A and B are shown apart, each in its own frame.
Chain A
Amino acid sequence: MRKLLTGNGAAAWGMRLAKADYLPAFPITPQTEIIETISQWIEEGEIEATMVTMDSEHSMITAAGTAAATGVRVFTATSSQGLLYAMEMIYTVPGWRAPFVLVNVSRALSSPVTLEPDHNDILAARDSGFLQIHCSTCQEVVDAMLLAYRLAEDDRIRLPVIVNLDGYYLSFTREPVTLPEQEKTDQFLKRTGPEVKGFCASNPCSQGVAVLGGSQYSFFRYETHLASCNGIKVFSEIAAEFESLFGRRYQAVESYRAYDADIVFFMIGSFATKAKDAVNQLRSRGIKAGLVRPLLLRPFPEEAIIKALQNKKGVAVIDQNISLGKGGILYSELASILYNVKKRPEVLVSFIGGLGGRDLTPEDFFEMAKVTTEAADSGVTPPPRLLYTREELAAMHGLQEIALYSDTQTRE
């Protein structure tokens, strides 16, 4: 069935099709629509699930992890400040090896507080042990939910998975979505039974996760890392199974017209479809552009990225995030895997933009391609570009004058 769904609607459908049993919830814009939709389905008897509204995201992730440890299928969702508030538990539950799926609807972080997206929230969870799938369309959201449950519950992984979608640009945006059929979904997501033997209400027991000494600690941390790394191989296996059932093909790294490209955009998230548009326009102007986009960010699909970028003249890395005091996070990640590659791209140019939902216009993409081409031709890489225009700064200075005037008035 093909219908118009928002990204939030697609996420709710993912939970419904996966028949998740338990949903601990806490509201936050722009995610709330997901739990509203699910709670309405429960109310109307459309689905059987238990939803509990928690006192905070910290408790919510704790509840999700503990419930998952008993073997029930768990879904939960948050965004931005909520993800940060949960951060202690975000780093804790992967070590329990309790599989569940968390949807994060990206929204830029405070301060200043705002509503529209960038990726600093989700990237704060980068090193937690959660696997991460980054979506660029509403179709990908519902499909990624099914892939995420399979990844999480695979015995070679057994880690929680975050499915990330951008606030507004996906969460509130309706696009045509083909819903996976329930019967095939049931086949794809077979139940594997209790994850931790003996966890049930009639047989209380405690789970100890304390160690003293670096050696034991290192063992468990390394094991979690190795489990995450298995995600690359498992992803390609389950994606093949997904394709044979549903007819849609996913790869850990999407390559769009990149095969014969000279200049490649490298980015994640929903703005990547804007890059495809720019690629097509640049191509019709005779410029060989392409896009390389990791869907899977953790584990980091090194080999696939290297293969996609080898022999390219230049890569424009577009970071919709900023590591304050360093720069673009994807840029650092990419540079680290290419350093030892012989046929690495001649230049990597860093662009930081789209913060707090600031638009990336077609002209921005064209100009990024131009700057990257010039850098490749000259061999001189320009410093990182913080995307901002003369017009934006003039408007900002106008606002600053009002603020300064107001401040002066207040102090007098």
Chain B
Amino acid sequence: MWRIRFHGRGGQGMKTASRILGTTFFLAGYEVQDSPRYGAERRGAPMTAYVRAGREPIFERGIITHPDLIVVADRSLLSLPLAGVFQGLTKDTVLLILTEDTEQNLHIPAATVKAVLALPLSLTTDGAMSRTRESSACAAAAAALLSLPLPLLLQSLQEELHKTASELLQQNLTGAKAAYERMFKHQNLVRQSSVNPEAGYEPPHWIDLQFEDAHHSAPAIHGEATSLLVKTGAWRSMRPVIDIARCNRCGLCHTFCPDGVISLSNEGVPEIDYDHCKGCMICKVQCPMHAIDVQTEHGGTE
């Protein structure tokens, strides 16, 4: 059975990527299971998605502990323990990362993994008219590594993105082809791991859970101003940027911001606290002067 784990941030489309890959497998005649898993259902929060595919009915479910292939859409997740990118990594695992960096610059110890592959970010954007399309590029790269036929991948993309505007769909197909071709030379690198039932198992370290004082065994944390300490700006995948020249000082962005991170100067000039702005873009929608632009956190413009 193939086991693939995707890591991304909410809004980056890794659930979609897992579905594109799942459907490609399904079209190729495999039994398939794909599922996303997220804690807080919000943009920017780390999330994972799983794909299993095999020739027999699949009984496994949920978390994939030892993936054959890990796909990471956001490099910043590598240094975030909560994201669990390196969980269950073995010397049989291939790690595919969407990044502008070279493999060497990622500083992942070679001994811990079978191979690290960098998928250039430039494949997911298209010059000035850039649109992010990480999901199709990541799915396509994975499909190439798993030797799935390109025509089935493109058919799957059309099925999964059938509600997408035709121009954007075309860009996705072009990007996917480029990502597929880029990775195709590595097509025999990823291997299906097999469970050897006779090998025995490491017993789980079960313990007898003991009573603990209610003062610290109740699910309550009392803390002051923790919302200031946590840099929720790290959740952002899109950045609102105010063009002060066009701003008419109406203050609507300040009023509507659900996180209260847009302050007004004495003269009524708005300023965004990027440490805490989550990039929800409500300010952009509300601005009557259309003075708020959107940039991706990768540097492109939406």
Q: Determine whether the beta carbon of B222 is less than 8 Å from that of A387.
A: no
Residues of B near A4 (CB, < 8 A) are: 19, 22-23, 26, 32, 34
- Residue in B26, B41, B205, B209 whose beta carbon sits within 8 Å of that of A386 in the complex: B209
Closest A residue, CB atoms, query B204: A363
Residues of A near B60 (CB, < 8 A) are: 273-274, 277
| Chain B residues within 8 Å of A, Cβ to Cβ | 19, 22-23, 26, 31-37, 39, 41, 58-63, 65, 195, 197-198, 200-207, 209, 216, 219-224, 226
- Residue in B198, B203, B219, B222 whose beta carbon sits within 8 Å of that of A363 in the complex: B203
Q: Determine whether the beta carbon of B35 is less than 8 Å from that of A359.
A: no
Residues of A near B58 (CB, < 8 A) are: 175
Q: Determine whether the beta carbon of A359 is less than 8 Å from that of B62.
A: yes
Q: Determine whether the beta carbon of A273 is less than 8 Å from that of B61.
A: yes
Q: Determine whether the beta carbon of B197 is less than 8 Å from that of A390.
A: no
A361 within 8 Å of B (CB atoms): yes
Residues of A near B205 (CB, < 8 A) are: 389-391
A363 in contact with B61 given A173-B35, A410-B222 (CB within 8 Å): no
Q: Determine whether the beta carbon of B216 is less than 8 Å from that of A363.
A: no
With A and B bound together, what is the CA distance between A389 and B216 in angstroms?
Answer: 19
A277 in contact with B59 given A4-B22, A115-B39 (CB within 8 Å): yes
- 6 example contacts (A-B, Cβ-Cβ < 8 A) are as follows A174-B35, A277-B59, A282-B197, A363-B203, A389-B206, A407-B222
Q: Determine whether the beta carbon of B61 is less than 8 Å from that of A176.
A: no
A188 within 8 Å of B (CB atoms): no
Q: Determine whether the beta carbon of B209 is less than 8 Å from that of A388.
A: yes
Q: How many A-B Cβ pairs are below 8 Å?
A: 110
Q: Determine whether the beta carbon of B32 is less than 8 Å from that of A284.
A: no
A403 within 8 Å of B (CB atoms): yes
Closest B residue, CB atoms, query A284: B197
Interface of A (DSSP majority class) = helix
Closest A residue, CB atoms, query B203: A367
Interface of B (DSSP majority class) = loop
With A and B bound together, what is the CA distance between A194 and B18 in angstroms?
Answer: 46
Closest A residue, CB atoms, query B51: A174
With A and B bound together, what is the CA distance between A4 and B31 in angstroms?
Answer: 10
- Shortest CB distance A85–B (Å): 20
Q: Determine whether the beta carbon of A174 is less than 8 Å from that of B223.
A: no
A111 within 8 Å of B (CB atoms): yes
A247 within 8 Å of B (CB atoms): no
- Shortest CB distance A134–B (Å): 15
Q: Determine whether the beta carbon of B59 is less than 8 Å from that of A364.
A: no
Closest B residue, CB atoms, query A385: B206
A169 in contact with B62 given A176-B31, A406-B222, A406-B226 (CB within 8 Å): yes
A210 within 8 Å of B (CB atoms): no
- Residue in B195, B202, B207, B219 whose beta carbon sits within 8 Å of that of A281 in the complex: B195
Residues of A near B22 (CB, < 8 A) are: 4, 174
Within 8 A of B (CB), among A1-48: 4, 29
Residues of A near B209 (CB, < 8 A) are: 386, 388, 393
A404 within 8 Å of B (CB atoms): yes
Q: Determine whether the beta carbon of A393 is less than 8 Å from that of B207.
A: yes
With A and B bound together, what is the CA distance between A168 and B58 in angstroms?
Answer: 16
Within 8 A of B (CB), among A258-284: 270-271, 273-274, 276-277, 280-282, 284
Residues of A near B223 (CB, < 8 A) are: 406-407, 409-410
A362 within 8 Å of B (CB atoms): yes
A246 within 8 Å of B (CB atoms): no
With A and B bound together, what is the CA distance between A4 and B28 in angstroms?
Answer: 13
